[in-house]
C-alpha cells in the first residue's frame, strides 16, 4: 500500500510552507545528484515531466544525447529538517526514465528494484541493516577539510573524551526527525571515528535512507565546524571505515536462515547463501570497494577482512555469522565500505545469495582460528583465497565473473569498468610522499 498520495503531498507541502523540492537520484558511482524546483512546479514533477541532461554527467553514457525524465517515488517525500524552517525544502528520490517511457536500466536504483522483483517472484523478501562508519575531522582556516582531530577517544568511549558526541547526537536526532529508525550510535576504534546503525529493514527502503544518511551526516557535521568523510582509509595508522551489512532472507514471513537444530543455528539455505556470496565476492569487490583508497583498508592488522573466509568467532573474517541474543538470525558481510553505492551492493548481495541457494552450493569450512595464525601452506590447503589487493585487480576479477556481468548488465559493467580504469590510471601517474621519502635520498 502506498505511503502517500499526490493529494497528501500537495497538502503537506502547502501546510508546511515548502518552497523548494529537490528531485534526487544516485549515479553509477554512488554520488547523489539533484535538481531543485519551486513549489509551483510540484505537480509537474509528480507528473514525471522534469528533465535532466544525462549527457553532461560522467556516470551516464556520453553518446546518449536524449533527455532523461525523473519519476519521483512519492513514498520518499520528506521535508529536510536541516533546511530553513520558513520556506522549507523537501525532497523526492527519483527513478530515471528514457524519453520513450522505459526505465533507464543502468540506473543503480533500477538494478536494485529489478533484483528485489526477481526475489519476490521466487517468494523471497530481503532485509538489511548496514553499520556505517565515518570520520569527523577539523577544517582549516579556509573551511577546507583536514585529517586532524583533537580527540583520542576509542571504541565506545563517551564525553568528555569523545569530542564528537554532540555532533553524532544531532545527526541521530535529525535522522529521527525524518522518520528513520536508528538502532544505536557510538564512537568507533579510531580517534574521530563514529558509527550509526539502522534497524533491520526492507532493502529498498534502507538503500534510499543510506543515501540521504550520508547527506545528513555531512550537513550536520558542518554545522558543528567539522568535516564528515566516508572515505574508507583517510589515515594510514588507524582503522578504516567499513559499511558492514547484516542481512536476512525471508520466505512466507519466516527468516529462512534459522535452524535451531544446527550448531550455529543456521539453515541449509543460510550456508548456501554464504557460499553464493563467497563464490562471487572477488567479482563483486570492485563494487563493494570502489575507490583506489578502499584497498588501503583491506589489509591485515586493522580488523578489516583481506581473505575470503567465513566464521562465527573471528572478527576479521569476510562473513561473520551473528550469534548471541539477536532477535533475528543474520549474516554479516564485512568487506564493503561506505564509499560504495548501496543500491548496487545490496542488489549483488541478494542475487549472489539466492544464486547460492538455487545452485545448492555448500559453504567451505568455517575459519576457527585467526587468519594471522595460519601459514600460507595452511591457507592453500584450506583453499583460502585473498581478496583483490587493489582496484585494478578487482576490476580484472569483475571482468572474469560472467555472473556479475549478467546481474549488472553488460553495458553497465563496461561503463563502470571504464570509469574506474580511468581512476586507476590517474592514480598510477601520481608520485606519493611515501615514494619520495623512500627513494629520493637513497637512489
- Binding-site positions: 131, 133, 188, 195, 239-240, 244, 297, 303, 315, 332, 334
List the grid coordinates of 177. 526527525
Are 103 and 95 in contact, with CB atoms under 8 Å apart?
A: yes
Binding residues for Mg(2+): 131, 133, 188, 195, 244, 332
Measure the CA–CA gap between 37 and 31, rounded to whole angstroms.
Answer: 20
The span from the CA of 254 to the CA of 216, in Å, is: 34
- Distance of alpha carbon 53 from alpha carbon 67, whole angstroms: 5
User: Dihedral (C-alpha) 413, 416, 419, 425: value to the nearest 10 degrees?
Assistant: -70
Structure-block grid coordinates of residue 173: 536526532
Rounded to whole angstroms, the Cα distance separating 115 from 346 reads: 9
Binding-site residue numbers for ATP are 315
Three-state SS for 254?
strand
Q: Binding-site residues for L-glutamate, please?
A: 239-240, 297, 303, 315, 334
Give the full edge-to-edge strand order of the sheet including 32-38.
32-38, 18-26, 88-97, 68-79, 50-52
Chain centroid to Cα 232, Å, comes to 12
Tell me which residue of 95, 97, 31, 106 sits closest to 415, measured CA to CA.
106
The answer to whether the CB of 424 falls within 8 A of the CB of 395 is yes
**Cα angle 232-299-318, degrees, rounded to a multiple of 5:** 85
3 state SS of 108: helix
**What 3-state class would DSSP assign to 25?**
strand
Task: Pull the grid cell for residue 57.
Answer: 554527467
Q: Can you list the positions of beta strands (E) in 139-218?
A: 182-187, 193-198, 201-202
Q: Give the CA-trace dihedral at 102, 106, 107, 113, to 10 degrees.
A: 80
Q: How far apart are CA 90 and CA 359, in angstroms?
A: 45
Amino acid at each position: 500500500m502506498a505511503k502517500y498520495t499526490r493529494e497528501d503531498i500537495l497538502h503537506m507541502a502547502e501546510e508546511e510552507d515548502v518552497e523548494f523540492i529537490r528531485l534526487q537520484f544516485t549515479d553509477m558511482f554512488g554520488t547523489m545528484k539533484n535538481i531543485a524546483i519551486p513549489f509551483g512546479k510540484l505537480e509537474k514533477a509528480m507528473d514525471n515531466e522534469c528533465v535532466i541532461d544525462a549527457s553532461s554527467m560522467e556516470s551516464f553514457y556520453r553518446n546518449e544525447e536524449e533527455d532523461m525524465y525523473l519519476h519521483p517515488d512519492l513514498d520518499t517525500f520528506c521535508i529536510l529538517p536541516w533546511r530553513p524552517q520558513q520556506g522549507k525544502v523537501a525532497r523526492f528520490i527519483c527513478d530515471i526514465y528514457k524519453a520513450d517511457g522505459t526505465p533507464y536500466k543502468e540506473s543503480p536504483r533500477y538494478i536494485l528494484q529489478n533484483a528485489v522483483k526477481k526475489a519476490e517472484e521466487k517468494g523471497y523478501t530481503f532485509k538489511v541493516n548496514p553499520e556505517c562508519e565515518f570520520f569527523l575531522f577539523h577544517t582549516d582556516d579556509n573551511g577546507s577539510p583536514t585529517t586532524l582531530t583533537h580527540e583520542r577517544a576509542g571504541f565506545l568511549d563517551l564525553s568528555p573524551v569523545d569530542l564528537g558526541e554532540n555532533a553524532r547526537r544531532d545527526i541521530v536526532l535529525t535522522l529521527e526527525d525524518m522518520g528513520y529508525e536508528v538502532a544505536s550510535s557510538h564512537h568507533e576504534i579510531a580517534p574521530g571515528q563514529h558509527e550509526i546503525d539502522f534497524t533491520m529493514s526492507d532493502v529498498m527502503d534502507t538503500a534510499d535512507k543510506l543515501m540521504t544518511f550520508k547527506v545528513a551526516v555531512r550537513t550536520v557535521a558542518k554545522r558543528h565546524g567539522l568535516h564528515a568523510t566516508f572515505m574508507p582509509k583517510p589515515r594510514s595508522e588507524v582503522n578504516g571505515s567499513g559499511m558492514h551489512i547484516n542481512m536476512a532472507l525471508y520466505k512466507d514471513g519466516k527468516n529462512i536462515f534459522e535452524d535451531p537444530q544446527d550448531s550455529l543455528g543456521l539453515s541449509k539455505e543460510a550456508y548456501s547463501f554464504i557460499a553464493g556470496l563467497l563464490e562471487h565476492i572477488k567479482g563483486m569487490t570492485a563494487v563493494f570497494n570502489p575507490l583506489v583508497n578502499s584497498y588501503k583498508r583491506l589489509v591485515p592488522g586493522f580488523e578489516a577482512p583481506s581473505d575470503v573466509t567465513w566464521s562465527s568467532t573471528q572478527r576479521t573474517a569476510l562473513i561473520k555469522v551473528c550469534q548471541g541474543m539477536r532477535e533475528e538470525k543474520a549474516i554479516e558481510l564485512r568487506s564493503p565500505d561506505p564509499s560504495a553505492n548501496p543500491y548496487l551492493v545490496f542488489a549483488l548481495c541478494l542475487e549472489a545469495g539466492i544464486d547460492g541457494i538455487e545452485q545448492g552450493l555448500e559453504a567451505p569450512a568455517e575459519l576457527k582460528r585467526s587468519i594471522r595464525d595460519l601459514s600460507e601452506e595452511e591457507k592453500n590447503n584450506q583453499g583460502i583465497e585473498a581478496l583483490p589487493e587493489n582496484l585494478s585487480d578487482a576490476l580484472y576479477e569483475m571482468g572474469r565473473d560472467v555472473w556479475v556481468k549478467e546481474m549488472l548488465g553488460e553495458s553497465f559493467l563496461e561503463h563502470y569498468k571504464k570509469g574506474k580504469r580511468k581512476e586507476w590510471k590517474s592514480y598510477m601517474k601520481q608520485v606519493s610522499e611515501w615514494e619520495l621519502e623512500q627513494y629520493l635520498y637513497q637512489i
